[in-house]
Amino acid sequence: MALALMAAGCGGERGAAPSAVDPADVPEAERYGGTVVVGGLGEIQTMNAFVSSDYMTDQVQAYVLFMTLLRYDERLDPAPYLARGWEVSPDGNEVVFELRTDVRWHDGTPTTAYDVAFTFDRVKDPDVPYPSRSSFDNWETAEVLGPHRIRFTLRPHADFLNGWTALPIMPRHILKDVPPAELATHPFGTSEPIGNGPFRFVEHRPGDRWTFEANPDFPEELGGRPYLDRLVYRVIPNETTLFAELRSGGVHMYVRVAPELVEQVIEDPELRLVAFPFPNYSFIAWNSRRPFFEHAAVRRALTMAIDREEIVEAVRHGLATPAAGPVGPWHWAYDSARRPLPHLPDSAAVLLERAGWVDSDGDDVREKDGVRFSFELATNESRERRSIAELVQRYLANVGVEARPRVREHQSLVADVTSPERRFDAFLLSWQQGFVLDERDQWACDRIGRPLQFTSYCNPVLDAVMDSISQSTDRSDQGRLLRRYNELLANDQPFTFLYVERRADALRRSLQGVAPDFRGELADVGSWWLLEGAP
Amino acid sequence: MASGGCALIRFALRRLLQAVPILVGIVTLIFLLLHLAPGDAATAYFNPNVSPEIIDRMRENLGLDRPIHEQYFRWLRAFFTGDFGYSFGQHRPVSAVLADALPNTLVLSGVSLVLIFVVGCAVGAVQAVRQYSKLDNVLTFTSLFVYSMPGFWLGLMLILAFSSPALPDALRLPISGVTSIGYEFMGPLGKLLDRARHLVLPSVALGIASAAGVARYMRGSMLEVIGQDYIRTARAKGLPERQVILKHALRNALVPIVSLLGLYVPLLFGGSVVIEVVFSWPGMGRALYNAILGRDYPVVMAASFFFGVLVLAANLVVDLLYAAVDPRIRRA
């Protein structure tokens, strides 16, 4: 089982496809045609790039319907896309982008530098609810130099091009007259989007599906017309129903398949699994205002009491990597030699004892200064996290610490943990990081009291490192700083970093050309094709 | 008769007027409950990449930073001028959300309702006529079994059974959604058939437990009627049994069943929340469910309002029907 998972994890296939045709034998010219249905549990609400915030929506916008100025390559270096290239002034205060001249909106209008300037202006406008506006905080002005040339002024900072890899350029000729405050609700996003990407919009049936068709005019240099005729995204909010649709051929891909279904996917000869490292990690946040979690030594002891390898096997069926800190295996600065704290319950007990937590009344729970080491471990309704909370309860009981798991409705839990009063002892959640690891909102001393500084943890050395990371424009320098950042958090354990997800998708074997990496499953959607005669 | 008609109209008007304070009460209560729950639409952006300043700004833009009574009166005023506002989560007018979702729910509940009463009454009547026979026992057992099954579980079982790759294609039924992929390329008849096929499993899952309930009521009601003197009279005067049952017994036994309608309509709307999630049916139930999870207040408010209207309307219809089938009530 573990071996099979590892094979699947490498994006490889287990066993030979039961079809008579070897996909490699199908000539390129015969790969065109067909409709692929992608099924997911979550709804895609809008094609309006100014308001989106969830993962699948961003994927469809950036890779299917629209184009971003730049894209990340597999090394997380910005690469040309709508922009053919760019030049940075020696002092780093100016960037000039040279755009492609052969990209048109799907209504025939050319995509120009005016669209880029328009998109930038709206993103900077506080009336537009663009959730990632902070990626453009250091960008100041835009000046169109010609139909396909645009100059920006900015303050030099780390990963300064990041914002342009995520923001789809929006059509100025359609949206320019919409008042910024009304952009979020303009029908463009939900019923009449016009893009310039490899697929064109066909139809949106809210709560049901989005349909797209191949754009025959997509530039050859960027892959040209996609192989597929049509791409459909269907929302099927129930796991059992979605999996039944996959097995019966109603959908070709089940995105982010539930871990407990992984074994069934591997055993089904008509299906295969692809998995890839994904910037989403699970953690337990310790509220350092509580007497139990004040000291790093105690937090380290708690982490050492928890068997993360076992959690990964039991709850994720192997589809995760135990985490040392916030820099995960998907990131270029990840140091695979830096092992997470080991699972050593005996050492954990010693650490707790040294910190003054002793069980003197024989009730199997330690106490100190009359306070029992007993706290509430809150989590949300997710089955995965409920199981982890129960395991953690057991691990901690072994070292004389009582964790009381409590399942909360997600929004209520979020409201409590982000409140300035920090109405929690410890909580267990997972979340998705950005590609740029500027996480000062979570850790910086001056953010204590702000919503994302859950733990009220403060380390001035870490602050200095984080500030340097945000300024560094040199990769080797940045790599060194990021490893230091990871190291400091691994030592202080304001969170117990449980694991970094390996995101897994289940596919029918007829669906070929899917080789996702951390950038997401739709990044290479133009090269997907359907193998005729395969299940 | 004319005075009876007048009384009926007066009765209907009175009920309509009574409905207004009830509806205002419903929306006020829901508004309060919603705002008492921790979290709001802006907490949906719980994400390390979204800076807290932007979330504060969103809260401001959506008016969520205002005192609750101000939010309430602002919403109420807009609502009664026909402006349902914008969905925070779907980024489109709430009226558009309703226009898409409401018909889907009405079709599903309507078909289920017909199924509940046709199947329920038929089974109950057959059982009463064949009281204590083997058939009666089997149907009693089956209906009690079905009645005690949770709808979502039955739905999942139907999905697993009817999507099984082992099943011949002709027997398979769609397990999710309202239409097939490629629906737009079908002819008018094909479209109709496609929609009908998609309705089969969700309407069965939604209605079958209630149908079993109706069958139990119908059996009891029918048995009571069959024991009446006028049935004995009908038999004594030599009417064929078929006519006795269908014309005399069935009609009278149906009178109390009509009142069940008013009980089952709210159950159907409640059940649709779960069934629409299981069968990926883009209806009001699912819209409401998602809106509650995402604290999408405008959608929750409008959806609850319309569910309230539909339930009150169903009750009114039942009372009117009741008056129509039972002259004693009409006269009173």
Q: How far apart are CA A70 and CA A52, in angstroms?
A: 19
Q: How far apart are CA A245 and CA B181, in angstroms?
A: 12
Q: What percent of chain A has pLDDT over 90?
A: 87
- Across all residues in chain A, what is the average pLDDT? 93
The amino acid sitting at B33 is L
**pLDDT tens, residue by residue, A54-103:** 899 999 999 999 999 999 998 889 999 999 999 999 999 999 999 999 99
**How many residues does the structure list for chain A?**
535
Strands (E), A250-351: 253-254, 271-286, 320-322
Q: How far apart are CA A321 and CA A275, in angstroms?
A: 12
Q: How far apart are CA A128 and CA A48, in angstroms?
A: 11
Q: Give the pairing of strands A35-40 and A230-235.
A: parallel
Q: How far apart are CA A464 and CA A43, in angstroms?
A: 40
Q: What is the DSSP letter of B86?
A: B
Distance from CA of B74 to the nearest CA of A (A): 19
Of A45, A236, A414, the CB nearest to B90: A45
For residue A171, what pLDDT is reported? 98
The pLDDT tens digits along chain B (332 residues) read 445 567 778 888 888 898 889 999 998 999 998 888 888 888 777 887 788 888 888 888 888 888 989 999 988 898 888 888 899 889 899 999 999 999 999 999 999 999 999 999 999 999 999 999 999 999 999 999 999 988 889 999 999 999 988 888 888 999 999 999 989 999 999 999 999 999 999 999 999 999 999 999 999 999 999 989 988 898 898 888 888 888 888 888 988 888 887 788 888 888 888 999 999 999 999 999 999 888 899 999 999 998 888 888 888 888 888 777 776 665 55
For residue B4, what pLDDT is reported? 59
Q: What angle do CA A411, A417, A421 make, to 5 degrees?
A: 130
Burial of A221 (0-12, 13-18, 19+ CB in 10 A): exposed
For residue A20, what pLDDT is reported? 59
**pLDDT tens, residue by residue, A424-446:** 999 999 999 988 999 999 999 99
Q: Give the pairing of strands A209-214 and A374-379.
A: unpaired
CB atoms within 10 A of CB B294: 23
Would you call A207 and B39 a contact, using CB atoms and an 8 Å cutoff? no
Pick the CATH number of A279-502 from 3.90.550.10, 3.10.105.10, 3.40.50.720, 3.40.50.300: 3.10.105.10
Burial of A22 (0-12, 13-18, 19+ CB in 10 A): exposed
Of B43, B91, B174, the CB nearest to A45: B91
Written as six digits, the tokens of A95 are: 């960037």
User: pLDDT band at A356, cuts 50/70/90?
Assistant: very high
Q: Is B95 an 8 Å CB contact of chain A? A: no
Compute the average pLDDT of residues A441-470. 95
Compute the average pLDDT of residues A259-274. 94
A12, pLDDT greater than 50: no
Burial of B67 (0-12, 13-18, 19+ CB in 10 A): exposed
Q: What angle do CA B255, B257, B263 make, to 5 degrees?
A: 130
Cβ-based contacts of A444 with chain B (< 8 Å): none
Q: Is B168 an 8 Å CB contact of chain A? A: no
For residue B12, what pLDDT is reported? 82
Of A384, A388, A426, nearest to A299 by C-alpha is A426
Would you call B280 and A415 a contact, using CB atoms and an 8 Å cutoff? no
In Å, what is the CA distance from B99 to each residue of A205, A206, A209, B279, B306? Answer: 12, 11, 16, 20, 12
Q: Which of B33, B51, B159 to mutate to test the interface with A (most CBs of A within 10 A)?
A: B51
Q: Which of A35, A159, A229, A411 to mutate to test the interface with B (most CBs of B within 10 A)?
A: A411
Q: How far apart are CA A66 and CA B136, in angstroms?
A: 63
Q: How far apart are CA B193 and CA B197, in angstroms?
A: 6
Would you call B52 and A452 a contact, using CB atoms and an 8 Å cutoff? yes
Q: How far apart are CA A405 and CA A391, in angstroms?
A: 10
For residue A2, what pLDDT is reported? 41
Q: How far apart are CA B184 and CA A207, in angstroms?
A: 17
Written as six digits, the tokens of B238 are: 């030599």
Helical spans, DSSP H, in A355-474? 383-398, 410-418, 440-443, 460-471
Q: Give the pairing of strands A94-99 and A253-254.
A: unpaired
What's the sign of the alpha-carbon dihedral A157, A161, A165, A166?
positive
Distance from CA of A206 to the nearest CA of B (A): 7
Q: Give the pairing of strands A230-235 and A199-205.
A: unpaired
CB atoms within 10 A of CB B11: 16
For residue B40, what pLDDT is reported? 85
A6, pLDDT greater than 70: no
* Contacts (Cβ under 8 Å, ≥6 apart) of A269: A15, A18, A509, A535
For residue B63, what pLDDT is reported? 85
Q: What percent of chain B has pLDDT over 90?
A: 46
For residue A14, what pLDDT is reported? 42
Torsion, Cα of A150, A151, A154, A158 (10° steps)? 60
Written as six digits, the tokens of A206 are: 């809210």
Cβ-based contacts of B37 with chain A (< 8 Å): 409, 411-412
Compute the average pLDDT of residues A223-242. 96
Compute the average pLDDT of residues A379-393. 96
Question: 3-state class of A184 per DSSP?
Answer: helix
For residue A291, what pLDDT is reported? 92
For residue B241, what pLDDT is reported? 87
Domain ranges of chain A: 31-252+510-530, 279-502
* Contacts (Cβ under 8 Å, ≥6 apart) of A409: A380, A381, B37, B293
Q: What angle do CA B265, B216, B329 make, to 5 degrees?
A: 60
CATH number of B2-37+84-330: 1.10.3720.10
The amino acid sitting at B253 is A
For residue A402, what pLDDT is reported? 97
Distance from CA of B38 to the nearest CA of A (A): 5
End-to-end CA distance of chain B: give it in Å, rounded.
13
Burial of A480 (0-12, 13-18, 19+ CB in 10 A): middle
Q: Is A418 an 8 Å CB contact of chain B? A: yes
Written as six digits, the tokens of A167 are: 């923001």
Residue of A nearest to B58 (CA): A129
**pLDDT tens, residue by residue, B160-212:** 999 988 888 888 999 999 999 989 999 999 999 999 999 999 999 999 999 99
Query: What is the model's pTM?
Result: 0.91
Distance from CA of B332 to the nearest CA of A (A): 48
A4, pLDDT greater than 50: no
Longest dimension (CA), chain B: 86
Of A211, A195, A47, A57, nearest to B92 by C-alpha is A47
Q: Is A442 an 8 Å CB contact of chain B? A: yes
Query: A68 — phi, psi (to 5°)?
Result: -95, 165
* Contacts (Cβ under 8 Å, ≥6 apart) of B264: B113, B116, B210, B213, B214
Would you call B160 and A248 a contact, using CB atoms and an 8 Å cutoff? no
Q: How far apart are CA B268 and CA B115, in angstroms?
A: 12
Would you call A411 and B156 a contact, using CB atoms and an 8 Å cutoff? no
Q: How far apart are CA B292 and CA A411, in angstroms?
A: 10
Cβ–Cβ < 8 Å for A528, A351: no
Cβ–Cβ < 8 Å for B219, B128: yes
Written as six digits, the tokens of B49 are: 């990449």
A15, pLDDT greater than 60: no
- Between residues A148 and A435, which one has the greater pLDDT? A148
Query: Between A and B, how many CB-CB pairs are < 8 A?
Result: 169
* Contacts (Cβ under 8 Å, ≥6 apart) of A131: A51, A52, A53, B45, B47, B49, B50, B54
Q: Give the pairing of strands A199-205 and A78-80.
A: unpaired
Burial of A170 (0-12, 13-18, 19+ CB in 10 A): buried
Would you call B164 and A450 a contact, using CB atoms and an 8 Å cutoff? no
Would you call B91 and A415 a contact, using CB atoms and an 8 Å cutoff? no
Q: Which helix (H) or strand (E) holds A241?
A: helix A239-248
Of A466, A420, A477, nearest to A441 by C-alpha is A466
A199, pLDDT greater than 80: yes
Query: A303 — phi, psi (to 5°)?
Result: -65, -40
For residue B124, what pLDDT is reported? 94
Domain ranges of chain B: 2-37+84-330
Cβ–Cβ < 8 Å for A374, B6: no
Would you call B43 and A207 a contact, using CB atoms and an 8 Å cutoff? no
For residue B330, what pLDDT is reported? 58
Would you call B38 and A411 a contact, using CB atoms and an 8 Å cutoff? yes
Query: A401 — phi, psi (to 5°)?
Result: -120, 135
Helical spans, DSSP H, in chain B? 2-36, 52-61, 68-80, 94-129, 134-147, 151-163, 188-226, 229-236, 241-243, 250-278, 284-293, 297-325, 327-331
Cβ-based contacts of A235 with chain B (< 8 Å): 280
Would you call B91 and A51 a contact, using CB atoms and an 8 Å cutoff? yes
CATH fold of the domain at A31-252+510-530:
D-Maltodextrin-Binding Protein; domain 2 (3.40.190)
Q: How far apart are CA A298 and CA A351, in angstroms?
A: 7
Tell the residue number behind the tokens 């000729």, with chain if given: A173
Q: What angle do CA A60, A118, A126 make, to 5 degrees?
A: 85
Task: Specify which residues A39 forms β-bridges with.
Answer: A234, A254
Question: 3-state class of B315 per DSSP?
Answer: helix
Of B52, B57, B295, the CB nearest to A126: B57
